[in-house]
Chain A
C-alpha cells in the first residue's frame, strides 16, 4: 500500500509548515521571562485554552488508534471519549481547578510539593518527565514508520523534519506558541478527517445501513456490556465504569500536567475552570470523526462495495483502517489535507509533551535540586535548553523503539502502572485535610506495586502472567482496566492508613490547596454561560443524551 502524492498535496503540506513556523515567529517577542516561556504567564484566552486542552491529547497515535479500535470494537470505542473523558473533564473543571489555579503552582508536581512534601513532588516530576519524552518518542516512531510505509519517505527524514519544526516553533513561542499551534492543528484535524467520516458512512448506507451489515454489538455502546463474552471488547460494565471511566480517565484528565497545563495557562480562575467544560463539547463530537470511519470500514467490507480492510494472519489488519480508507476515498488535494491533518496531530501531541517536559524539568527538577535561587534569565535559558534536550531524547526514544519494539510495550505498561494510582493521591490530597506527605508517597509506591502484581498474576492474550496465572482475562483491555482498579484502590487505602498514622500539615500551610481552606471566587453575578456550574450541567445532559442515542 503506497500513496502517490501530487504537487497540490505537497503544496498543502508546505503551507501548513509555513503557518506553524510563522505562529512561533510572531510570538517570539512575547517571551521575555521564564514564566512567559514555560507557563504563558496565565494570559491565554479561554477559547484557545479549551481547544488546546483537547488538541494536546489528540496525537497521531490517538487518531489512527481510535479508527482502528472503531473497526475492532465498534461503538464501544465511544467509551474512550464519553465515559473515559467527559465526566473527568467536568470534575477537573468544577472541583479540582480551583486548587490548581488558586495555589499559583506552576506545575502539577509543584502542587504536590505545596500540598504534601518534596519527595512526593520529586517522584511525580521524575516519572512525568521520563513518561513525556518517551511518549513523544513513541509517537515520533509511529509517524516515521507510517510515512515511510505509505509515502516511501525516509524514516530519519520524517522524524528529524517533524521534530525540527516542533523545536523551532516551541523555542520561539514557548508554551503560547505550542498552544496557539495546537488550535490550528485541531481545526486541521477536524477538516482533514471529517470528510472521510461523511463519505465512508454515506457509502455504507448511513448509520442504519451500517447497523444492518454489522453484528449488533458493533453499533451499540452500552447494550452488550452485561457480560464480557457478549461484546467485542471483552469487558463488562463494572470493569469499564470503574477501570476506564473512573480510574484511568480521572487519572489522566485530572492529574496529567500535559492537559492540566493548558487550563492553567488561562487568563483567570473562571476561564481555567471553564476550559475543560468548553473543551468537552468538541471532545464529545470527536468520536464521530475518528471512530465512526473505523466502524464504517467493516460495514463497507461486508457490503462488498469496492473497499475491503486488508487482512493479516487470517484476521483484519485494523492498524491499516485509516490509511486504506483515505486511499480509497481521498483524491489528490483532500489526500494532502488528510495527511497534513495526520502530521498536525503528531505535532500537537509532541509539542504538548515537550512543553510539559520543559516546565517540569526547569521548575521541579533544575530549580529545586540543581540550582535554586538563580536569576529568571537563567531559568529561561534552562527552559530553552530543556526544550532542545527533550526533543533530542524523544528522537533517541524513536530510534530506540525502532530497534526494540517490545521494550516500548513494557515501557508503556510501566507508565500505566505509575498513572493509575495518581488520582487516588490527588483525590485524598485535595478533599481530605488529614492526608499527609508520607501517606501520599507510600500510597503511590504501593499502588504501582499492586498494578505490577496484578499484571504478573493474570494473563490476557498472552500478556502478563510472569509470576503465576491466577486468572485469565478475555482481552488485554479488560486486564488493563482491572490493573488500574487494583492500583487505585491500593493507593487510596494505603495513603489513608499511613496518613492516619502520621502528622498532617497545619491548616495555615494548606490554605489554597485543599477543600474547605481554599477560597473559591463567587460567580453568581456572571451570566450562566460564564459560570462553571451551569456549563457542567449542560455538558452532563448532552453526555446522557448522546449515550442514550448510541445505547
Chain B
C-alpha cells in the first residue's frame, strides 16, 4: 500500500516552493505578502506529512 502522507507531503512542499517564487504579487485588497505566508504554511504542512510518513516507515 502506498503511503498517502508522503504523496500529500511532497505535493504541498512543491506548492509552497512555487508560492515562494511570487512573494511580491498583490491583489487590490491583499493585506501583505500572502504568497510568502501561505508558501511557508504549505511547506510546513508538507514537511509534517513527510515526517509522519517516514516515522511510520521506520517503526515498521
Residues of A at under 8 Å CB distance from B? 6, 8, 11-12, 15-16, 19, 22-23, 26-27, 30, 43, 48, 180, 183-184, 187, 191, 195, 199, 202-203, 305-307, 327-335, 337
- Minimum distance in angstroms from B6 CB to a CB of chain A: 11
Which residues of A sit under 8 angstroms from B26, Cβ to Cβ?
A: 331
Q: Are A331 and B4 in contact, CB atoms less than 8 angstroms apart?
A: no
- Minimum distance in angstroms from B56 CB to a CB of chain A: 11
Report which of A23, A26, A27, A191 forms a contact with B45, defined as CB distance below 8 A. A191
Which residues of B sit under 8 angstroms from A16, Cβ to Cβ?
A: 11
Q: Are A328 and B27 in contact, CB atoms less than 8 angstroms apart?
A: yes
Number of A-B contacts (CB under 8 A): 95
Which residues of B sit under 8 angstroms from A330, Cβ to Cβ?
A: 27, 30, 34
- Known contacts A8-B18, A15-B15, A187-B12; A333/B35 CB under 8 A: yes
Number of residues on chain B facing chain A (CB within 8 A):
28
15 extra interchain contacts, Cβ-Cβ under 8 A, other than A8-B19, A15-B11, A307-B29?
Answer: A8-B25, A23-B7, A27-B2, A184-B8, A191-B38, A195-B34, A195-B38, A203-B29, A203-B31, A330-B30, A331-B25, A331-B30, A331-B35, A332-B25, A333-B39
Give complex CA distance A27, B18 in Å: 27
Q: Are B34 and A199 in contact, CB atoms less than 8 angstroms apart?
A: yes
- Minimum distance in angstroms from A142 CB to a CB of chain B: 24
Q: Are B1 and A331 in contact, CB atoms less than 8 angstroms apart?
A: no
Which residues of A sit under 8 angstroms from B51, Cβ to Cβ?
A: none
Q: Are B38 and A19 in contact, CB atoms less than 8 angstroms apart?
A: no
- Interface hub of A12, A30, A191, A333 (most chain B Cβ within 10 A): A333
Q: Are A306 and B8 in contact, CB atoms less than 8 angstroms apart?
A: no
- Interface hub of A16, A19, A335 (most chain B Cβ within 10 A): A19
Q: Are A11 and B38 in contact, CB atoms less than 8 angstroms apart?
A: no
Report which of A23, A203, A334 forms a contact with B34, defined as CB distance below 8 A. A334
Interface residue SS majority, chain A? helix
Q: Are A8 and B34 in contact, CB atoms less than 8 angstroms apart?
A: no
Which residues of B sit under 8 angstroms from A8, Cβ to Cβ?
A: 18-19, 21-22, 25
Which residues of B sit under 8 angstroms from A180, Cβ to Cβ?
A: 2, 4, 7
Which residues of A sit under 8 angstroms from B8, Cβ to Cβ?
A: 183-184, 187
Q: Which residue of B lies closest to A202 (CB)?
A: B31
Which residues of A sit under 8 angstroms from B38, Cβ to Cβ?
A: 191, 195, 333-334, 337
Kindly identify, within residues 28 to 51 of chain B, every residue whose CB is under 8 Å from any CB belonging to chain A: 28-31, 34-35, 37-39, 41-42, 45
Q: Are A30 and B1 in contact, CB atoms less than 8 angstroms apart?
A: yes
- Known contacts A11-B18, A202-B31, A334-B19; A22/B7 CB under 8 A: yes
Q: Are B27 and A184 in contact, CB atoms less than 8 angstroms apart?
A: no
Which residues of A sit under 8 angstroms from B14, Cβ to Cβ?
A: 15
- Known contacts A19-B7, A191-B38, A332-B22; A26/B2 CB under 8 A: yes
- Known contacts A43-B1, A184-B8, A191-B41; A333/B19 CB under 8 A: yes
